[in-house]
């Protein structure tokens, strides 16, 4: 069994020509955990300086 932080650490982001994407094999359980915490998974796809 994995801890929440271990599951969230499995989320990877791929950058192609400046655009950020989740790989097709993204752990859906991890993205669900982000949603359950009240966030949209797209926060992983935005540059850190654009999140307010």
Segment 3-30, tens digit of pLDDT = 989 999 999 999 999 899 999 999 999 9
Reduced to 3 states, what is the DSSP secondary structure of residue 5?
A: helix
Confidence of residue 51 (pLDDT cuts 50, 70, 90): low
Evaluate whether 40 touches 48 at the Cβ level (below 8 Å): no
pTM (2 decimals)? Answer: 0.76
Count the alpha carbons within 13 Å of 50 in the hemisphere toward its beta carbon.
Answer: 6
The pLDDT score that the predictor gives to residue 52 is 61
Per-residue CA distances from 30 to 14, 17, 33, 51 (Å): 16, 25, 5, 20
Which phi and psi angles does 19 have, rounded to 5°? Answer: -95, 140
């Amino acid at each position: 069994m994995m801890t929440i932080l271990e599951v969230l650490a499995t989320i990877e982001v791929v950058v192609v020509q400046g655009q950020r994407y989740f790989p097709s094999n993204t752990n859906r359980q991890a993205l669900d955990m982000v949603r359950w915490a009240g966030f949209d998974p797209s926060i992983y796809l935005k540059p850190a300086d654009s999140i307010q």
